[in-house]
Structure 1
């Protein structure tokens, strides 16, 4: 409640706001959003739903069925996907049915937010950008973020200056793919970027003498270059360095808390979930955790080439003794044999 109250004050969000929140299903977040922002739409991150689902229902097939249900854009399509899950496992269907679909399926989204995002990856992107600055003192951390924003805005403005067309580069790429597929579709309607069905209907209307204009003009304004320029119109200007900061005379001196250095190297990266570790393994980048590395000299495990003294792997001597064989060291002669 405390965090969301401050967030609402900073973003000027009132109780009647129709913002869209996306989060995990943490028990404290759900009632707090409902109480403070009763008119807001609250989506649940599908990755967290799958992590909870995976505890009882393991396997890639459950993941595929869950995504099929969440990605459905119409109620009949969603119902059909849920029926397939029910036919496969009734208990999994019952578990998923307890989560209201308006929080995690595109077919039940209100449409107020011109986005069909199902994951809160934006938070992970933010965490990734500030990873080098978040372990610094608060002033230094804010300075790190401010400097990053300055570089980010300049970089995007350079891209905007070199871009052409009505839509943003990413929206143009997506819309070109939609137009390419639209030749095989018939009309339907949806929020946001115009669908293949709508493009086909617009072509048909233009062919029969209707006034259509450019297809890009039918795309929602949030994907236009004008809106993109408006987003980055605010500039973060440089400020004076610390040597020019005004010194304030306070009656008390604030000293930093006592710091105790922990054992080991400090960790900056967050702990990966079981799903992320599984995806890393499937992508071919295996983790070396809980694995034994072999020495590059003697090919035995338990040590590396720097500490290698020609020792055998643990258990080798015992094995050799049982088999009745003995190791023999022969010094090379003059001939080098």
Structure 2
């Protein structure tokens, strides 16, 4: 309130369809992220995104606030916890990029929840002091491990490469970035916060608009998305979606090379070509590699056991991937809304926009990318495998402007349009004169005949 005027500060939105769909049809994983607004009213958009039955993003709630800190994140998470009616936060996993104030807010509001950090952002901080492709590969290898012995083995390999890099990574809690320490209750082994990144990409054009237009565009997109998802369910041939089928097909390539030995009705020992053996229990739906428990989708070892038992693969896929869960998530309807011109007047004291704050420099459209990050996708065709040569020395690896050996330049003669030059310039000059003389004579003869014809007609 400034001199009797109400100034906009924050707004939180959680639509009923999104709230009920997440509670009934999505897994207990919430991705949190914030992005800048680039319109007249600067600020931030905070978003909470879940994951549906097809491993796609599921927007839950979003809010517009003035800045990003512990206060704003705590305010957002308290409202989110109240809307989702979360009594036991320990049953949820929170995925984030470790943004400003977010860690403290999660610890205070969602006390006991499993915290996961995006490994890509973890590596962005890791490579500042420990660059190199080998260290990057070893970090990702440790993050992708699913068992504790394998994780310890990868960490020893990292320590043999760089003691400092190992010490830096050992200070991080393994349950925040390695699958080997993830909870099996969530049924999701994602290492990246791509759910929120996808949501930010969808609303990138709306972030340039005023706040009311921004919120209306997001509502319109959600309304259309929920309807399209319900319609896409009619095309499902199998009990699960295409993305889940692709994971199953990938695991089948592993199962083809496995040898199973039955120990009991539901227990198997699965031997792999690399001399590794795994224990599979189909009744408990477990495998000693832990991939089955982490995702809820049978791994390659479990598929080999399922084939041996003669059971159906779809019966061993978790219910969170089935049609029923997908329909529950998108069963709600986001109703249409008329334009602001038709909204009723709420009173004589309207809410004014926040104060304008212009940041220094030219406004940026795209986010800042890392040096080793690939460029964004473009409609232009990219050329791969072509070797470009210097125009001066005809050597690869540089251009004519940065040529290191201009003295040895071998500049080819520039090709001119028209006929190639003659070997003898004097002979060519004579032929050209003779040709011009013949052309003059032919022109004079034609002009004289035409003149005599005109004089004859006049006479």
Query: Do these two structures clear the TM 0.5 threshold for a shared fold by scoring above it?
Result: yes
Q: Contact 2:297 / 2:318 at 8 angstroms: preserved in 1?
A: yes
Instruction: Determine helix, strand or coil for the equivalent of 1:55.
Output: helix
- Alpha-carbon distance between aligned partners in 1 of 2:254 and 2:116, rounded to the nearest angstrom: 29
Separation in 2, partners of 1:33, 1:259: 30
What is the aligned partner in structure 2 of residue 244 from structure 1?
A: 342
Verify the 8 A CA contact 1:168 1:228 in the aligned structure 2.
Answer: no
For residues 31 and 249 of structure 1, the distance between their equivalents in structure 2, rounded to whole angstroms, comes to 39
Residue 169 of structure 2 is aligned to residue 101 of structure 1: no
Distance 1:262 1:103, change over 3 A: closer
Report the Cα offset of residue 258 of structure 1. 5.8
Could you tell me how far apart the structure 2 residues matched to 1:27 and 1:248 are?
Answer: 36
Give the 3-state SS of the residue equivalent to 1:146 in structure 2. helix
State the Cα distance separating 1:132 from its structure 2 match.
1.0
Aligned counterpart, 1:209: none
How far the C-alpha of 1:77 sits from its partner, in A, is 1.0
Q: Deviations over 1:1-49 (max 9, x none)?
A: 3332233223323354421001133463323322322221101110111
Give the 3 Å change call, closer, same or farther, for CA 108–143 of structure 1 in structure 2. same
Task: After superposition, give the CA deviation of every residue in 1:178-202 in whole Å (9 maximum; x if it has no partner).
Answer: 2232122325412211111111112
- On the 8 A contact 1:15/1:36 being kept in 2, the answer is no
> Matched residues in 2 for 1:85 and 1:266: separation?
41
Gaps of 5+ in 2: 1-73, 259-269, 271-278, 281-286, 384-400, 402-431, 433-459
1:280 alignment counterpart: 375
Shift of 1:275: 4.2
Provide closer, same or farther for how the CA distance between residues 285 and 258 of structure 1 changes in structure 2, counting only shifts above 3 A.
farther
Scaled by the length of structure 2, what TM-score is found?
0.56
Q: What are the within-5 Å matches in structure 2 for residues 139-150 of structure 1?
A: 139-150=212-223
Instruction: Give 1:108 deviation, angstroms.
Output: 0.6
2:109 to 36, 57, 72: 36
1:247 deviates by 1.8
Q: Which residue does the alignment assign to 1:82? A: 155
Q: How many residue pairs are counted as aligned between the two chains?
A: 279
Query: Who is 2:307 aligned against?
Result: 203
Partner of 1:177: 250
SS in 1 for 2:207: coil
* Residue equivalent to 1:318: none
2:230 to 120, 138, 157: 157
Which structure dedicates a bigger proportion of its chain to strand? 2
Which segment drifts farther, 133-142 or 60-69? 133-142
User: Is contact 1:51-1:275 (8 Å) kept?
Assistant: no
Aligned mates of 1:48, 1:261 — CA distance in 2 = 28
Relative contact order higher in (CA < 8 Å, ≥ 6 apart)? 2
Q: TM-score, normalised on structure 1?
A: 0.75
> What is aligned with 1:193?
297
**1:229 offset after TM fit, Å?**
1.7
Name the SS of the counterpart of 1:134 in structure 2: helix
Instruction: Say if 2:361 is the partner of 1:267.
Output: no
Measured after TM superposition, the shift of residue 260 of structure 1 is 7.3
Decide whether the 8 Å contact of 2:254 with 2:301 is kept in 1.
Answer: no
Structure 2 Cα separation of the partners of residues 90 and 110 of structure 1: 29
Conservation of the 8 A alpha-carbon contact between 1:85 and 1:92:
yes
CA contact (8 A) 2:142 2:151 kept: yes
Q: For each residue in 1:121-167, what CA deviation from the matched residue of structure 2 results, as whole angstroms up to 9, or x when unmatched?
A: 11111111111112322221111001111222232223211121111
User: How many Å separate the matches in 1 of 2:125 and 2:353?
Assistant: 40
| Structure 1 gaps, min length 5 | 207-211, 287-312, 314-334
Structure 1: distance between partners of 2:332 and 2:166: 48
Question: Aligned match of 1:6 in 79, 92, 114?
Answer: 79
Residue 225 of structure 1 deviates from its aligned partner by: 1.8
Equivalent residue for 1:215?
Answer: 313
CA separation of 1:256/1:33 partners in 2, compared to 1, >3 Å: closer, same or farther?
closer
Could you tell me how far apart the structure 2 residues matched to 1:49 and 1:260 are?
31
CA distance in 2, matches of 1:162, 1:40: 37
